[in-house]
Structure 1
Amino acid sequence: MLSYLHAFHAGNFADVQKHAVLTLALSMMQAKPSAIACFDTHAGSAVYDLESERARKTAEADAGVQKLWASRNGLVSSDWQPVMQMLSRLNAGEGRLTVYPGSPAWIRQFLRPGDALTAFELHPAESGQLADWATEHGARVLHEDGLKGLLRRLPPSQPRLLTLIDPSYEIKSEYLDVADTLQKAWQKCRHGVYLIWYPVLTSHLQTALKQAVKDSSLRKVWCSEVHLRMPPERGMTGSGMLVVNPPWGFGDRFSAMIEDIAGDQALGISHECSWLIPE
């Protein structure tokens, strides 16, 4: 099934959490000089027009990145600086954001000489736009299933690994597919940092993913969930991230980032975090 298009949801509260995790993990990993292989299993289009018909149909960015941008002068954590700098570069002026970067664009912004980005995208329209973007930004794009493609390319030639896994979960079996892929990837590259996004749903389908990870042989898995203070009666009420092998001190720094934006005057979310599997 390939009906999902992220353009309808770009810049929503879940993107804010996901990309905050991604940028913090990258910046902390780059405290060491050794090269990093970055993989994005469900890369999307790389860059999104927040004024497009698709984006305005849902207007999800209004309650997400637009509120983050409006609150930028009150942010305390310095770890928001790379995020604000990226948004500022892509958008002219100080008003509302019109452009929002997807995960491959966030990763590409951090790449140093020796680092590499491999982006997978199976949707034909999305992969075409991604490939056009990649020709100007030095990324490798592969039009194939990202979960299978990742496993075929591990371990990487670079000494370190960062992987983002964030399918749409259109198909219910994807929750267990992600857990299975994560286990196999970890066995191939145990020192890698793996970031797994999942929706928090009223149906609680996400619990199958979390339980499967708990039952695996994985170690050092940190879990972050943000929850809408005024959730809908059905559908997505929050957003979750699993971080395998987080850099030392990651949890405290990320929690400080979320504290900046959790109030009702900002994104209207609450945050829960803990070790899903202890160190």
Structure 2
Amino acid sequence: MLSYLHGFHAGNFADVQKHGALSLVLSMMQSKASGIACFDTHAGSALYDLHSERARKTAEADSGIQRVWQARASLTSPDWQPLLDILAQCNQGQDGLVNYPGSPAWFRQCLRPQDDLTAFELHPAEGEHLAQWAGSGRLRVIRQDGLAGLLRHLPPRQPRLLVLIDPSYEVKTEYQEVARTLEKAWQKCRHGVYLIWYPILASGAHEALTSAVKTGGVHKVLTSEVRLRKPPERGMTGSGLLVVNPPWGFDTRFTAMLNDVAGDQVLNLSHHMDWLVPE
């Protein structure tokens, strides 16, 4: 479970979907002034070097965020702009995209004075990098299991909640564990917004998560799935997100964002969105 390093996959097509959704949800939630308690259960490192040996070994960003960046002038949805602005800030003085922000960086770039972030990371090296980057302030780094840690910190003191659950799923039992944690978290804070990422695999292993959520007690669960039109022989064939309590209008706006990049000139994928569990 501690062998996974996101540096090999940073900026891939799944990150585009996941961080696009995260930036949109944050923007929509921050249209209201009340504070938001943000939790990142599997935070990883804050920044990734897309020119590093790890990143170049897989070169997944080349067919992911790099293509979105190259196509940015043709993107029609205005909801891409916050994401593009953060990428530009992280790459000031660079020739193109060199640095890619991990989820803690996406969160921190958007935090207002009334918001805060708790980031969990169990991997020793990743946790050390994250803690050094975070420094002091409203970003709290906790080096422990994020699923158990999340439950210990709920309900939050702020009136609103946003949670990103993004494990590696290296261990097959994580699918069921995530489903159980989601239900327990939702019982503690039913008004919270929860984003749960999962890989779509040819084996269908991800269906253990979606089936458990569908038959569980959580209500108002939207699912967004993107699938590569030319999937690899091994690895992910797509990427999925469960969005619990999505802000009103999120489905329409996020679909518009993904429609911008679904064509063969950008990410060459298909997108399907539907209610896994209605309200």
- What is the rounded CA distance, in whole Å, between the counterparts of 2:88 and 2:165 in structure 1? 26
Match of 1:263 in 2: 263
- Report the alpha carbon displacement of residue 91 of structure 1 after superposing the two structures with TM: 1.1
Look up the equivalent residue of 1:15 and give its one-letter code. D
Q: CA RMSD in A?
A: 1.0
* Cα deviation 1:76-116 (Å, max 9, x = unaligned): 00000001101111113584310000001001111111101
Structure 1 counterpart SS, 2:135: helix
Q: Give the 5 Å matches for 1:88-237.
A: 88-92=88-92, 95-135=95-135, 138-237=138-237
- What is the rounded CA distance, in whole Å, between the counterparts of 2:88 and 2:148 in structure 1? 35
Match of 2:247 in 1: 247
- What is the rounded CA distance, in whole Å, between the counterparts of 2:154 and 2:72 in structure 1? 38
After superposition, the Cα gap between the structure-2 partners of 1:160 and 1:177, relative to the gap in structure 1 and judged at 3 Å, is: same
Look up the equivalent residue of 2:90 and give its one-letter code. L
Q: Displaced runs of 4+ in structure 1, greater than 2 A?
A: 92-96
* Cα deviation 1:95-152 (Å, max 9, x = unaligned): 4310000001001111111101000000000000000011066410000000000000
> Do residues 36 (structure 1) and 42 (structure 2) align?
no
* Cα deviation 1:172-204 (Å, max 9, x = unaligned): 000000000000000000000000000000110
- Report the alpha carbon displacement of residue 205 of structure 1 after superposing the two structures with TM: 0.3
- What is the rounded CA distance, in whole Å, between the counterparts of 1:12 and 1:137 in structure 2? 30
- What is the rounded CA distance, in whole Å, between the counterparts of 1:3 and 1:82 in structure 2? 32
- What is the rounded CA distance, in whole Å, between the counterparts of 2:186 and 2:77 in structure 1? 31
After superposition, the Cα gap between the structure-2 partners of 1:270 and 1:93, relative to the gap in structure 1 and judged at 3 Å, is: farther
- What is the rounded CA distance, in whole Å, between the counterparts of 2:258 and 2:229 in structure 1? 14
Look up the equivalent residue of 1:144 and give its one-letter code. Q
- What is the rounded CA distance, in whole Å, between the counterparts of 2:103 and 2:17 in structure 1? 12
- What is the rounded CA distance, in whole Å, between the counterparts of 2:264 and 2:278 in structure 1? 32
Look up the equivalent residue of 2:199 and give its one-letter code. P
- Report the alpha carbon displacement of residue 232 of structure 1 after superposing the two structures with TM: 1.2
Structure 2 counterpart SS, 1:203: coil
- What is the rounded CA distance, in whole Å, between the counterparts of 1:158 and 1:134 in structure 2? 21
- What is the rounded CA distance, in whole Å, between the counterparts of 1:235 and 1:91 in structure 2? 29
Contact 1:108 1:137 in 2 (8 A): no
Look up the equivalent residue of 1:246 and give its one-letter code. P
Worse-matched range after superposition: 146-155 or 131-140: 131-140
What percent identity do the matched residue pairs reach? 68
- What is the rounded CA distance, in whole Å, between the counterparts of 2:186 and 2:231 in structure 1? 34
Unaligned runs of at least 5 residues, structure 2: none
Unaligned runs of at least 5 residues, structure 1: none
How high is the TM-score relative to the length of structure 2? 0.98
- What is the rounded CA distance, in whole Å, between the counterparts of 1:269 and 1:135 in structure 2? 38
Worse-matched range after superposition: 40-49 or 136-145: 136-145
Contact 1:203 1:235 in 2 (8 A): no
Contact 1:28 1:247 in 2 (8 A): yes
